[in-house]
Structure 1
Amino acid sequence: MLARPVARMPRRQGLAMEAKWDGFRAVCFALPGRCFLQSRRGADMAHAFPEVVRAARELAAVEPCVLDGELVVAGDQGRLDFELLAARSRRSGRRAAASALAHPAHLICFDLLQLGGRVLLEEPYWQRRLLLEDVFARRGLAAPWALCPSTRDAAQAQEWLSPEWAAVGVEGVVVKPVGQLYRPGERGWAKLRSRTAHDAVIGAVTGPVTMPETLLLGRWDPAGRLRLVARSTPLSVSLRQRIGGELGLARPGHPWRDVTFSAGWGTREPLQHRCVDPALVVEFEADAALDSGRWRHPVRVRRLRPDLAGEELPAFRA
């Protein structure tokens, strides 16, 4: 079951809210003779995460079940590390076993789809949640298992949207009606992403310089190099006019003149861009998905910041 994006927290009665984690969606089949880890696209990820599958076999022997959750890996700084998770997903054999020791994965469970021979898709969320909590309590489940926090208190859920939670890898909140059945493939849940404001310089654009369609945003690193931090969503007409009227042409030696950027995350298709003088600063709104100093998803530009210079911004940190 999937979630649709929403702009604000729903406030009606009968809703449960869960923290949204920065990882891979996964369904774990912990059944006798049938233990595997299924990705959102239906692929078996058992080869990449042997420690989770091993735990699933142990669970299947005492409590056969099917768990829905988010597969995550913590980085060296304690924050969930999506890039490390993605790298682990491409490994198998000895490399996967070594990675499991160095950077173990966890499955943060938020739903129970089957318990023993009982399929739970036709049970309401509240009933599935009670059964999930009972499995964790009775079996004393620990790593690599984790129970996703859930609340019906909107004020508590609002805390999960704070920068402090974003800093450790909580992307936002998923909202679920407590009486809702589980419908695979349907976007019956709602997701609200944590969003915070940041500043960066415009280093390049797509579309005409005088009416840019999107912006490529950067910050200077300690060595004096301009590093890409984000690409914007399509600008509004008013922002295109305002920003296009202020942009200057790229001077010789622009740091991105011979750099190739991908058209999107997970693709090698090159992005057609035009370099501009990296002097204008904009404020943008971004979610919590930050990989090695770069925002994974397109960001929304709010406004120009003529009061700031690029040298005043925080330095790029990978």
Structure 2
Amino acid sequence: MRVLVQNFIGETRAVALGTDDVPLELFIWRDRKIDPASRCGDRLNAILRHIDKGQGLAFLELQTGEEAVFNLATGRTPPEVGARMVVQVRAEAQGDKLAIVKPVEAEVLLPSGITAFDDWIGNLGIATSSVETISLSEENELDAAFETAFASSVTLSGGGVLRIDRTRALTAVDVDTTGRDRNKSGLSVNEAAVVDLANQIRLRRLSGLIVLDLAGAPKGQKAQNLRDLMLGELQTADIRGAKVLAPSALGLMELSLKRTVRPLLEFDPMQCGPQRRKLEIFAEFLRAFERAAVNHRTSTCKATISMEMKHILDGQTFDWMAELSRKYGSRFDLDIEVSQTNPFEIRAVE
């Protein structure tokens, strides 16, 4: 296994590559001024705002301004509304789902990007000598890995396609046998789908309820074998605590995975939830502007932006222009185009 990493202004992105440079896992870290959302492992100040005794839930406001929730302990007197406490994030917010936290007797702690990256490398079990920092100048295996994680379909070994669609309630996965050639793979199409889905769960950070619509409706021992294969592949992918049911009479295999980190789609401006769209557009803009500066070291980099983009930039607390100028010199320019529909277009001017 090897790791490729890119260090943009305000953002670090990395990919762990396995055999034949297949992407296994992705890492992304943002400066907290760009993305103030709480993250797994953070310890934050919080104020208890509401208790729902019927559901056994307590709702809090975090120091980030986010709302979070924790389960009340059965048989114990809940804290008073308005109580202040320190909580640790167990699951990040995603979509309309709140962050899940737990009260702790500890000091506030917001790990740095360096700490988060070192922890990620440690969890992968690889040496720092296997980490390679790559240039920002051109598209590479890291960009390709993110594109794979954002794509709605994956080609199966031996042909066929796995189509992955996220809905509000679950992630639906369909096995399309078009173009399948059994001679190109020792696995059946359903076995290939199970193996590849386990890999995609890890790469895309999928969680919650996942339903796999298999080809046909395997029954008896074949159905049980597919369930066992899925459990084994998830374990190989270091995904713990998954619940997997054998395929139903209609050929549907159901999986339930514990929610922890934000799914990768939440970092795609085209597919993220509405509450993250402005953030992701800004992050994409900043990467593109910096990449233009690297590719055109003696040119002025000019961005033509829409009015929407102007409002996004005006709302930033992160001093992105100062950071770009400090690193690459004062050769960045903005031009507002009222009629422009794309958020931004960047070009080099000699």
* TM-score, reference length from structure 1: 0.26
* TM-score, reference length from structure 2: 0.24
Higher RCO (CA < 8 A, seq sep 6+): 1
